[in-house]
Amino acid sequence: MVFSSLEFLFIFLPLFLLCYFIVPKKVKIIVLCFFSLVFYAWGEPVYILLMIFSSVFNFVCGLILEKQKNATPKKITLIIAIIVNLGLLGFFKYTDFAIGTFNSITHSNFELLNIALPIGISFFTFQTMSYTIDVYRGSVACEHNFLIFITYVSMFPQLIAGPIVRYETVAKELHNRTITYEKFCQGLFRFMQGLFKKVLIANNMGLLFSTVTGQDYSTISVASAWLAACSFTFQIYFDFSGYSDMAIGIGKMIGFTYLENFNYPLTATSVTDFWRRWHISLSSFFRDYVYIPLGGNRCSVPRHILNLMIVWGLTGMWHGAAFNFILWGLYYGVLLILEKYVWGKYLEKTPAFFKHFYSVFIIVFGFTIFTFDDMNLFGKFAKIMFFASGNSLIDKGFFNVLINHGFILAVAIIISAPVYKLLTAKIENIIKTSSHGNAVAITHAAVAMCFYTGLFIITVSYLVNDSYNPFLYFRF
C-alpha cells in the first residue's frame, strides 16, 4: 500500500503546491479537490467510490434538512443519515470482528468476509456526520456547492489520519482563503516539525519497542518491559502528533487553519487533563455529539457513570475492531469515573511531581493495552511489567538497548514537554522588547534555518535507508 511510506508525499506535495499557486484564485479549490481525490485514489483506488458516496449522501441530507421546517421529518432525516453513516463504518470496520466474536462464543464456523479497511474511513465518516448533525441543529449553514463540500470531505492534508475537522472550522476558508508569505513559512516550518517527529523520533521509538518485544518473553527483564512500554508511548505520540503537525502545516500553507489536535499530553497531571490534551478533535467530537446529548454530567451519579462508560466504550471501538481497543477505552472510562468520584479531590492536593508520575504511569500502561491485539501476549507482557512472571528485574539487554537508543529517547522526553515552545516565546519577547531586537531576530532566523536544514538532510537520509514509514493511525 502506497500510504505505508512518506516517499509518495515527497513527490505529491511539491507538484500540488506548484499547481495550486500558479492557477488563479477561483481555480484553486478545483486543484485542491482534484489532488485530494488523486491522493486518496492512489492508495485506495476502489474505496474512493465509498468516500464520494458518503460525500454525495451527506450533501443531499444537508439540503433536505435545510428545506424541512417540521421537527419530525427533520429528525427522521437525521436518524437515517446517522444510520447510513454508522452502517457504512460498521460494515467495513467491524463485520469481521463481529463474525469472529460470534464464532468464538457459539463455536460456530462462519467464514470471515476479509473486508479491507478503507483508509481514513473513521475520520471522513465523523466529519460528514458532524456536518449533517450541525445542519440539523442549525449551528452551520447548509453548503449548496458540491465542489466545496467534497473538497471539505476529501482535503488530503488531514483526510487519512486527522485531525477531525468540522465544517464550521473551515467553512469560510473553503469559500475565501487568505494566503500570505508569512503563513506559508509558518506552515512549512510546522510541516517540517511533524516530519522530524515522525521520521527521527517515532520510527526510532518503534524500533526500540520492536527490539525488546521481538525477544523471547521469558528473557525480557522488568526494566526492559517498561522501557518498551515507554518507547511505544513515545512512538504513538510522535507518530500521530507528527501527522497532525504536517496536516496543520500544509493547511496553513494553502490558506486553511485547522485546530490543534495535541497540547503536550505527556505533561498531563491527571487522566482528565490527559484527555484535554490528547487527540483533541476526537475528544471534542464525542463530547459534543455523544456525551452531552446523553445528558453529560447534568444527571444522577449512576446515569453520569453510564454516560461515561458509553462514551469511552465507543472511543475504544472507534480506534479498531479488537478487544484490546475496547478494553483500552473502558480502562480510561473507569479511571475518569474514579478521578471524578473517588480520589480526584485528593489528587489535586498532592505535589506536582506525584500528579505527573501518576498520569504517566496510567498513560504508559494504557498504551501497553492499546498495542497488543493478542490478549494472551498482553497478559504475558503485563505480568513481566508487574513482577508476576519471575523474570529478572534488570539485565544486560536493558543497558544495550538504552545505549543504542538513549540519545533519541532523551530527545523524545525533551520534545514531549513545551521546551521548544517556551524557548521560542522567550526569543520572540526579546525581539519585541529589546533594543537589539532586529539583530536577535536575524540571528534566530539564521540559526533556525540552519537547524531545520540539517534535520531535513538527516530525515531524507533516514527515508532513503528505511522503506517502511507507516503512520500508526492510518489503520483507524
Q: How far is it, in rounded angstroms, from Cα 18 to Cα 424?
A: 30
Placement of cell 508569505 in the chain: 181
Task: Specify the DSSP class assigned to residue 111.
Answer: P
Nearest to 149 by CA among 138, 139, 140: 140
- Cell numbers representing residue 161 in the block: 489520519
Q: How far is it, in rounded angstroms, from Cα 227 to Cα 198?
A: 19
Euclidean distance between the first and the last CA atom of the chain, given in angstroms as a whole number:
15
Nearest to 74 by CA among 65, 87, 83: 65
The vertex-269 CA angle with 414 and 428, nearest 5°, equals 45
Q: How far is it, in rounded angstroms, from Cα 27 to Cα 30?
A: 5
Which are the catalytic amino acids?
A: 319
Q: Say if residue 445 is exposed, middle or buried (CB neighbours under 10 Å; 0-12, 13-18, 19+).
A: exposed
Question: What are the angstrom distances between the C-alpha of 372 and each of 333, 365, 389, 390?
Answer: 19, 11, 18, 21
Q: Say if residue 82 is exposed, middle or buried (CB neighbours under 10 Å; 0-12, 13-18, 19+).
A: middle
Nearest to 337 by CA among 295, 298, 307, 293: 307
Task: Specify the DSSP class assigned to residue 340.
Answer: I
SS (H, E, C) 113-155: CCCCCCCCHHHHHHHHHHHHHHHHHCCCCCCCCHHHHHHHHHC
**Phi/psi at 39 (5° precision):** -55, -45
- Cell numbers representing residue 200 in the block: 527521527
Placement of cell 467530537 in the chain: 285
Q: How far is it, in rounded angstroms, from Cα 153 to Cα 124?
A: 6
Q: How far is it, in rounded angstroms, from Cα 92 to Cα 84?
A: 12
Residues with Cβ within 8 Å of 202's Cβ and at least 6 positions away in sequence, in order, are: 234, 235, 236, 237, 238, 239, 242
Q: How far is it, in rounded angstroms, from Cα 476 to Cα 369?
A: 16
* CA 375 to the chain's CA centroid: 24
Q: How far is it, in rounded angstroms, from Cα 379 to Cα 5?
A: 32
Q: Which amino acid is at 258?
A: Y
In 155-202, which ranges are continuous DSSP H helix?
A: 156-159, 167-175, 181-196
